[in-house]
Amino acid sequence: MKILVPVKRVIDYNVKVRVKADQTGVDLANVKMALNPFCEIAVEEAVRLKEAGVATEVVAVSIGAKAVQEQLRTALALGADRAIHLETELNLDSLQVAKLLAKLVEAEQPQLVILGKQAIDSDNNQTGQMLAALTGMGQGTFASKVAVNGDKVQVTREIDGGLQTIELTLPAVVSTDLRLNEPRYASLPNIMKAKKKPLDVQAADGLGVNLSSKVTTLKVTAPATRQGGVIVESVAELVEKLKHEAKVI
Amino acid sequence: MTILVIAEHSNDELKADTHKVVQAASSIGGDIHLLVAGQNCGNAATAAATITGVTKVLVADASAYGHQLAENVSALVAEIGKDYSHIMAAATTTGKNMLPRVAALLDVAQLSDVIAIESADTFVRPVYAGNAIATVQSADAIKVLTVRGSAFAAAAEGNNAPIATLDIVKDLQVSTFIGEELTKSARPELTAAKVIISGGRGMQNGENFAMLNGIADKLNAAIGASRAAVDAGFVPNDMQVGQTGKIVAPDLYIAVGISGAIQHLAGMKDSKVIVAINKDSDAPIFQVADYGLVADLFTVLPELEQQL
């Protein structure tokens, strides 16, 4: 069984985000970039399925400028077998990304696509669902447990009220939530080995997908900042303030 | 211009998020059709008809829709959705599961977690865990949006909208519901509570979360948790407040033993009044708290319960 793992290069989650003064976006110049945390969990899950003998090949894919190859090498160091880079300088929306991935699914015929539920930059939480729609596959979103059984996969999903388990017919799309696994660290020998693993580069605009989006960002601003308040000395003072100053209890 | 709103419900009951999405839809203008797709969902449909602003309730009652399986409900919404100007749902795990699928089937973009509506085609949404706010304009013929409930008031009740039955059954047969473990609680839901008390890593273990019960009882509060507390296995995932958990904006949010990581703040910083209780005076949570108490939570909690 082949598993396709789409991954995204994003701002490192530890970096403090700064909005550009001209309101065109977030300042990404000279900022540390990393593999999106949810994508890391997706790679880990795919590699574990391979280690368990369920999967035979793990293919990582990323879409973007040349720099995304850095994150593909990370995925390879974590255990993916080979990588595909769909190269474009454009900033794509989830729908365009999903359409490109649908083309890859057609070419690669994976039985399972595992990807992060959302990227921590756009916070969209859309690509997996859109890919599933375009390919007619079932979707197990926000997964905290994945169990492949023959031509089915059972996915336990983190939902607002608790947990839900569904069964999907393969091929299927799974999007990862935080509790699915704890990703490993790439060891130095594996980082070295990753440099020799195959990484195939294709032009994203050569796949017959219209890459233009109908959504325009008019401006990006910093959120209203919240002022820190006062430090109270005791529980009694706190209760007094909540009752008489804030009037919330 | 007619807007289609997807109701959030449990077949028996309509969820409060539905009222908020209807309120958001009302601010765009035009007729509002409210779709209740489910199985034996008559009660939810009856409740839907009472929401002010709804011009028509559409009911699709079939076993294929019983558990809100995204594959089936999305196929239904995409089929009836072609004639609408907007398709909207709450940014809950149900809405987020379904609407991107609907958008892709209709070949349009989807806008997630909308927090303000500027006009019929211009919307405001947070990105980067709320550290930046984007204003976006969509030129798509159908605007498909999920709406963040905490950013909108709830539409009132008192309407008596007509109910129409849809005879469309979409069963893609690629997914099956197996089971669910839902947290049963007599407390208000996190996203609807006026007061929330949340525990973090500082609670040390799951048993200690019981120390929040007495206070929650006295304040009629919901109990939440930080990601650290959920990751450590203290409490279940449905209690998580944060960027990837629930986004809340109660009148009073009490953070106990929570340091205040960016991703937690993203889920609660729009609360009216924030109280932080933490023994580390350098914890970032104090930078957003209206009232901070630097003290050991294990001495503070019993005292607080007693004094309320």
Spell out where A12-117 has E strands: 33-35, 57-64, 82-87, 112-116
Each residue of B37-56: pLDDT tens digit? Answer: 999 999 999 999 999 999 99
Q: Give the length of chain A.
A: 249
Percent of chain B having pLDDT more than 90?
A: 96
The answer to whether the Cβ–Cβ distance between A159 and B180 falls below 8 Å is yes
Q: Angle at which helices B70-81 and B93-105 pack, to 10 degrees?
A: 50
Residue A95: its chain B contacts at CB < 8 A?
103-104, 107-110
- Please tell me whether the peptide bond between A171 and the residue prior to it is cis, using omega within 30 degrees of 0: yes
Rounded to an integer, the average pLDDT of B132-146 is 98
B2-165 belongs to which homologous superfamily? HUPs (3.40.50.620)
Phi, psi of B180 (to 5 degrees): -150, 150
Chain B residues with CB-CB distance to A210 below 8 A: none
Q: What would the mean pLDDT of B177-188 be, rounded to a whole number? A: 92
Residue with tokens 């696994």: A181
Nearest CA in chain B to A156: B180
CB-CB: which of A167, A223, A238 is closest to B275?
A238
Tokens of B13: 């009951």
* pLDDT tens track for B269-293: 999 999 999 999 999 999 999 999 9
Mean pLDDT of chain A: 97
Asked if B174 and A138 come within 8 Å (Cβ–Cβ), the reply is yes
Residue B85 is classified by DSSP as S
pLDDT at A228: 79
- Local structure of B65: helix, strand or coil: helix
Q: How far is B99 from chain A (nearest CA, A)?
A: 8
What is the spatial distance between Cα A66 and Cα B228, in angstroms, rounded to a whole number? 35
CATH T-level topology, domain A2-244: Rossmann fold (3.40.50)
Asked whether the predicted pLDDT for residue A225 surpasses 90, the reply is no
Work out the average pLDDT over B187-205: 95
- pLDDT reported for residue B299: 97
Picking from B93, B175, B289, the nearest residue to A138 by CB comes out as: B175
Q: Which of A8, A103, A134, A249 best tests the B interface by mutation, with the highest count of B CBs <10 A?
A: A249
Query: Are the C-beta atoms of residues B75 and B172 closer than 8 Å to each other?
Result: yes
Paired residues of B202 in beta bridges: none
Q: What is the mean pLDDT of residues B203-209?
A: 98
Tell me whether the CATH fold assigned to B2-165 matches the one assigned to B195-307: yes
Asked if the Cβ–Cβ distance from A235 to B289 is below 8 Å, we say: no
**Chain A residues inside the 8 Å CB shell of B117:** none
Over residues A11-52, the pLDDT tens digits come to 999 899 999 999 999 999 999 999 999 999 999 999 999 999
Q: Is B133 on the interface with A (CB under 8 A)?
A: yes
A37 Cβ under 8 Å from any chain B Cβ: no
Strands (E), A71-161: 82-87, 112-116, 138-149, 152-159
SS3 A71: helix
Return the pLDDT at B204.
Answer: 98
Q: Is the pLDDT of residue A241 over 90?
A: yes
Assess A212–B contact: CB distance below 8 Å, yes or no.
Answer: no
Arithmetic mean of pLDDT, B247-266: 95
Q: Are B79 and B168 in contact (CB under 8 A)?
A: yes
B303 at interface of A, judged by CB pairs closer than 8 A: yes
Q: In whole angstroms, give the CA distance from residue B230 to residue B92.
A: 19
Compute the nearest-CA separation of A38 from chain B (Å): 10
| Sign, Cα dihedral of A185, A187, A188, A194 | negative
**Cβ pair A242:B252 closer than 8 A:** yes
Is A226 a residue whose pLDDT tops 90?
no
B243 band by pLDDT with thresholds 50, 70 and 90: confident
With cut-offs at 50, 70 and 90, classify the pLDDT of residue B36: very high
Distances from the Cα of A83 to the Cα of A72, A100, A204, A209, B89, angstroms: 6, 15, 14, 20, 36
A239, B308: Cβ pair inside 8 Å? yes
User: Does ipTM come in above 0.90?
Assistant: yes
Mean pLDDT confidence for B129-145: 97
Q: How many C-beta neighbours within 10 Å does residue B83 have?
A: 9
Residue A153 has pLDDT above 90, yes or no: yes
Question: Where do the structural domains in chain B lie, given as residue ranges?
Answer: 2-165, 195-307
- Do B252 and B271 contact (CB within 8 A), yes or no? yes
B133·A178 Cβ contact <8 A: no
Q: Sort out which chain B residues have CB atoms less than 8 A from A154's CB and list them.
A: 178
Instruction: Domain B195-307: give its CATH superfamily.
Output: TPP-binding domain (3.40.50.1220)
Both structure tokens of A214: 């109908």
Please answer yes or no on whether A214 and B107 come within 8 Å at the CB atom. Answer: no
Nearest-CA distance B193 → chain A (Å): 13
| pLDDT surpassing 90 at residue A81 | yes
State the Cα–Cα distance between residues A91 and A9, nearest whole angstrom.
12
